[in-house]
Amino acid sequence: MRKFSIFLKSLFVLASLGTFVFMFSCTSDTDNKKVSATDTLTQEKKPKQEIYKIPSPIELYQFMKDENVRFNNNLLSNADNASKYVTVRARSLNFGIFASDLAYCTVFNRSQETFLYFKASKTLADGMGLAEGFDDIVSKRLNNNMNNTDSLFQISNDAYDDACNFLENDDKTDILAYILIGSWIESMHLVMNSVTKFNAEDPVVTRIAEQQLILENLNSSLEAIEKKDADFTDTKKKMKEVQDLFDKLYENTDVLITKKQYDDIKKIISDLRKEIIG
């Protein structure tokens, strides 16, 4: 059993390369010390938390497309609901969900839906004061390239990266964390509901099981954020509950994931997503 567990962990590491990587650290900079010219007192700036790699569900969606998984418009969150999210938490989580839907539509070459979810993301970005990625200039670029799927892909991907980088540089790691959670939850919702019949050897099911390490890294990142409000604490607790279900995969000796484990994970993802989208 222990041998299989070690193999499983190694498989997760290899399979996760190039997908989501979540890492928090503190910067150390000699310039953080400033000596006054008059009293020679040294003042140290508070180290800034940074996320070194921003996750994107694009590779997962590309994998789904390569495995001939059909695009399902009915699985997407309702873009018309963008204006109803008014709190920072709701806007951030649903921005992550809409950005994930945007990536899904882009990968599957759905130009009309791509523009629709870009606008929904922009509505939330405006509400959060995001000055990068989802401004009017990018919106016009997207509109002018509706018939060019390659350009739509690049523009929407760059927009998401720019928005996340803006939050990181502005030291708004709590907002960025909510976005990452929403994006991950939506990617899991889309991929799990695209599986029509469970088969432990199905490559798509295998890819779902491989999210265990990704989630573990995400939850480690959440713990590193110095945010004590009730909403953030509750969100971390719920994400830990999801991880507890994934951790049961380590107990398997002959399969990567069982039908019951798959169904349990699918249900908790569905329940959490319903709570987020309202």
Greater confidence, 158 or 123? 123
One-letter amino acid at 240 equals K
> Can you give the pLDDT at residue 49?
53
How confident is the model over 11-24, as a mean pLDDT?
37
Task: Please determine, for residue 200, whether its predicted confidence score (pLDDT) is greater than 80.
Answer: yes
Q: What spatial distance separates the first Cα and last Cα of the chain, rounded to whole Å?
A: 42
Task: Please determine, for residue 100, whether its predicted confidence score (pLDDT) is greater than 90.
Answer: yes
Mean pLDDT value across the chain: 80
How confident is the model over 210-223, as a mean pLDDT?
88
CA pair distance 211, 188, nearest whole angstrom = 9
> Can you give the pLDDT at residue 173?
83
> Can you give the pLDDT at residue 221?
84
Domain segments of the chain as ranges: 56-277
For residue 129, give Cα distances in angstroms to 120, 123, 125, 167, 183.
Answer: 15, 10, 6, 10, 19
Banded model confidence at residue 86, pLDDT cuts 50, 70, 90: very high
Residue with tokens 């507890």: 244
CA pair distance 278, 151, nearest whole angstrom = 33
CA pair distance 240, 117, nearest whole angstrom = 29
> Can you give the pLDDT at residue 35?
37
Residue-wise pLDDT for 138-188, tens only, equals 777 777 777 776 777 787 778 777 877 778 777 788 888 999 999 999 999
How confident is the model over 70-97, as a mean pLDDT?
96
Q: What percent of the chain has pLDDT over 70?
A: 78
pTM: 0.79
- Token pair listed for 185: 């939850």
Q: What percent of the chain has pLDDT over 90?
A: 50
Greater confidence, 80 or 135? 80
Q: What is the DSSP string of the chain?
A: -HHHHHHHHHHHHHHHTTS----EEE---GGGEEE-TTT--EEEPPPPEEESS---THHHHHHHHHTTPPP-GGGS--GGGGGG--SHHHHHHHHHHHHHHHHHHHHTT-HHHHHHHHHHHHHHHHHHT--SSSSHHHHHHHHHTTT-HHHHHHHHHHHHHHHHHHHHHTT-HHHHHHHHHHHHHHHHHHHHTT-SS--TT-HHHHHHHTHHHHHHHHHHHHHHS---SHHHHHHHHHHHHHHHHHHGGGG-SS-S--HHHHHHHHHHHHHHHHHHH-
Q: Out of 104-113, 122-131, 245-254, which region has the weakest mean confidence (pLDDT)?
A: 122-131
Q: Out of 220-224, 262-266, 272-276, which region has the weakest mean confidence (pLDDT)?
A: 220-224
Residue-wise pLDDT for 32-79, tens only, equals 433 333 333 334 444 555 443 445 788 899 999 999 999 999 999 999
Banded model confidence at residue 129, pLDDT cuts 50, 70, 90: confident
Residues belonging to the chain: 278
